[in-house]
């Protein structure tokens, strides 16, 4: 029952389109790069300052000057370009990146996103997440449906926000939801994961949503 992390990444990869420039967050979103359909041209952006990010290097070929935004060693491709961090976020804020796939702690039914801090706990910082969700054309969240049994899809987020009304789609291990930012209702269930029923999803979701399966 339900999707694995790989299946969630695979589902997210279905949202890619030929010619897209894409920024992938840390965790499950990173796995999406393993499922880019053959023949599709996708350029991955790494917000530290690189477009056209290649796979991890072969052992022994790591270069300390060539890392992604998760500080992991990566490689370059024939299409690669390097630029400053200010240029990188000009690209993001200016709406030139087509798609951002990120993780989340909470998403509300109006598309609000919380993924950077838990009050009372050590705060590590928001990194580039606030800029990405404010600037990138389409924002997809890939996350577990619940955390320790508690729903993560809520009526309103109770954690500090990363962005207001910024989420376009949520893919969890149980289901896929679409957010219509300008519609009457904001959140729509469009797909169930293998072996998951509508009742299962209702049980595990606090947010109110329409069913459009």
For the annotated catalytic residues, the residue numbers are: 47
CA 83 to chain centre: 23
Q: What is the dihedral of CA 63, 55, 174, 165, to 10 degrees?
A: 70
Q: Is 38 in the site for other proteins (CB under 8 A)?
A: no
Site string for other proteins, 130-159 (x = CB under 8 A): xx--xx------------------------
Give the number of residues in contact with other proteins, rule: CB under 8 A.
53
Asked if 46 interacts with other proteins (CB under 8 A), we say: yes
**Nearest in space to 116 (alpha carbons), one of 51, 178, 26:** 26
Alpha carbon of 185 to those of 4, 60, 138, 180, 212: distances in Å? Answer: 29, 53, 19, 7, 12
Which listed residue (1, 40, 118, 123) binds other proteins by CB under 8 A? 123
Between 85 and 197, name the residue whose CB sits nearer to other proteins.
85
- Let me know: does 177 contact 124? Beta carbons within 8 Å: no
Find the binder of other proteins among 18, 39, 71, 182 (CB under 8 A): 71
3 state SS of 142: strand
Contact window for other proteins (CB under 8 A) among 8-16, 59-67, 138-146, 177-185:
59-67
Rank residues 98 and 172 by Cβ distance to other proteins and give the closer one: 98
Contact 189, 211 (CB under 8 A): yes
CB neighbours of residue 183 within 10 Å: 11
Nearer to other proteins by Cβ, of 18 and 59: the residue is: 59
Interacting residues toward other proteins by CB under 8 A: 46-50, 54-59, 61-74, 76, 82-86, 88-90, 92-93, 122-131, 134-135, 160-164
């Amino acid at each position: 029952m339900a999707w694995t992390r790989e299946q969630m990444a695979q589902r997210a990869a279905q949202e890619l389109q030929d010619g897209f420039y894409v920024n992938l967050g840390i965790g499950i979103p990173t796995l999406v790069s393993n499922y880019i359909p053959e023949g599709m041209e996708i350029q991955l952006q790494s917000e530290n300052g690189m477009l056209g990010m290649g796979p991890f290097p072969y052992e022994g070929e790591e270069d300390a000057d060539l890392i992604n935004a998760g500080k992991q060693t990566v490689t370059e491709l024939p299409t690669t370009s390097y630029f400053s961090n200010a240029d990188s976020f000009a690209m993001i804020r200016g709406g030139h990146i087509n798609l951002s796939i990120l993780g989340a702690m909470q998403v509300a039914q109006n598309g609000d996103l919380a993924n950077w801090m838990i009050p009372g706990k050590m705060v590590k910082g928001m990194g580039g997440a606030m800029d990405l969700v404010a600037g990138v054309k389409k924002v997809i969240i890939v996350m577990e449906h619940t955390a320790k049994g508690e729903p993560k899809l809520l009526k309103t987020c109770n954690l500090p926000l990363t962005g207001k009304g910024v989420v376009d789609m949520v893919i969890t291990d149980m289901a896929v939801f679409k957010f219509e930012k300008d519609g009457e209702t904001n959140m729509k269930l469009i797909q169930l994961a293998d072996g998951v029923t509508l009742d299962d999803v209702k049980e595990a979701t606090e947010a109110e949503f329409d069913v459009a399966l």
